[in-house]
Chains A and B, each alone.
Chain A
Amino acid sequence: MLPTPSTSHVSFDRVYEPAEDSYLLLDTLSSESEKEFLQDRFTHSKPPTSTPPKNSPSPLIIEVGSGSGVVLSFIHAHALTIFGRSDILTAGIDVNPHACQATIQTIRCAEKEQEVSKTSHGFYLGNVAADLTGALRCGEVDVLIFNPPYVPTPNLPSLVGDPKLSAFDADSHLLELSYAGGEDGMEVTNRLIESLPGILSRDRGCAYVLLCAQNKPEVAKEGIRKWGSRWMAETVGSSGKNAGWEKLQIVRIWRESPPISTT
């Protein structure tokens, strides 16, 4: 098992604390089957070596809702094991500026650990505060990771907190943004999913989105497959089985790549 990055420096009063959902993402992304999928897609040499094939552009990995940074720094630190190459570009997005700072710090700690043990890591671009993929240029993201606010709630909190809120209420608002998902817990996730055809890279783009049973994952997957014959959506990781229902699952969304051109 690959070590989990430390997040002990993060203040969990206003940033989502890593929980079962975060760990399911780590386990899924480092599973044998996902490593194989990612290495097939982004590296054509096996077993992993530190030299990626010439002229294969560095993949761009973006985590939306990076929170404490535990998932992004895990991928960043273990790039060579997961992708078969360490020349990956990583970046985080979060609506909560405190979460952006937390991610930056967690990445820094993870990089130090890797450097102490003389192992490689990816190249971290930074974090931006934004609403989902709204600030991203079209067609650039190769791997998008999203652990959404998936809890069904009667209302969605506004993206920007009222400046008149007390410090305690401002923190509560930020935490609410990290879990409150509106109707079926899907209002935020649906907006993210709708943006995927535009922001994922044409030939290599794929996304990992976490869903819970109340999100009606089968409906979500069917919806994506209707985008066109190349679009795929499959459950590639799950946890918390309860009478045949997966409590949490990771759905991989991708376009089957066209045949690789040799020119």
Chain B
Amino acid sequence: MKVLTLNFLTCAVKACKTTSASFPLVPKECELVSDTIAPNPTLLTNLLPRVDWPALGSIAVALGFPSLSPLPPTPADLENDTKMMADLHTLLLETQISEGSLVCANCGHEYKVKEGIANFLLPNHLV
């Protein structure tokens, strides 16, 4: 699964849904793989407005990437800063989590990732 997927996931436990701590899930002991993807500035520019920037910042650090700028780049920033464009391209479009876990900061439940597939099926006592 691409790192960007984490922008759209939360803890599956019902009681966690209403707390802000259940997003983002925190990557733990993750193995990463990198796909080679042709530069796609249109995609990068158009997906950024829907990225929760502070959440992405914490995910980047948890995965061992350099920290992001405090504020998200505007489309003009992105166009003029080839390094930022390249860094975000790598983080958002090329990087996949292949193994590891995603942890809810509210309830502590760990969702395992195996062969790139995160498993959100809850054990019976949490349903």
Contacts and interface: CB of A to CB of B under 8 A. Distances in A.
Interface of A: 51-52, 54-58, 60, 87, 89, 91, 95, 97, 100-101, 104, 123-131, 134-138, 140-141, 159-160
Nearest to B55: A137
Nearest to B116: A126
B86 interface: no
A-B pairs, 7 with minimum CB distance: A126-B1, A130-B120, A135-B120, A125-B5, A134-B12, A87-B43, A58-B46
Interface residues of B, number: 31
Contacts, number: 99
Interface string B48-86: 011000000000000000000000000100000000000
B40 A137 contact: no
Contacts of B28: none
Contacts of A131: 12, 120-122
Nearest to B50: A57
A261 to B, nearest CB: 14
A46 B121 CA distance: 42
A260 to B, nearest CB: 16
B117 interface: yes
A128 B25 CA distance: 14
B46 A87 contact: yes
A137 B1 CA distance: 16
A58 B5 contact: no
Given A128-B5, A140-B8, A97 B75 contact: no
9 contacts: A55-B49, A57-B47, A95-B121, A97-B117, A128-B119, A134-B120, A135-B10, A136-B8, A136-B9
Contacts of B118: 128-129, 135
A45 to B, nearest CB: 13
Contacts of A100: 117
Contacts of A52: 42, 46
B50 A140 contact: yes
A97 B42 contact: no
A135 B117 CA distance: 13
Nearest to A95: B121
A100 to B, nearest CB: 5
A125 B50 contact: no
Contacts of B46: 52, 55-58, 87
A87 B4 CA distance: 14
B93 interface: yes
A128 B118 CA distance: 5
B69 to A, nearest CB: 20
Contacts of A123: 40, 43, 47, 93
Contacts of B1: 125-128
B120 A128 contact: yes
A87 B44 CA distance: 9
Given A87-B42, A125-B4, A101 B121 contact: no
Contacts of A135: 9-12, 118, 120
A160 to B, nearest CB: 6
B101 interface: no
A124 B23 CA distance: 21
Contacts of A56: 46
Contact of A126 (B2, B11, B12, B42): B2
Nearest to A128: B118
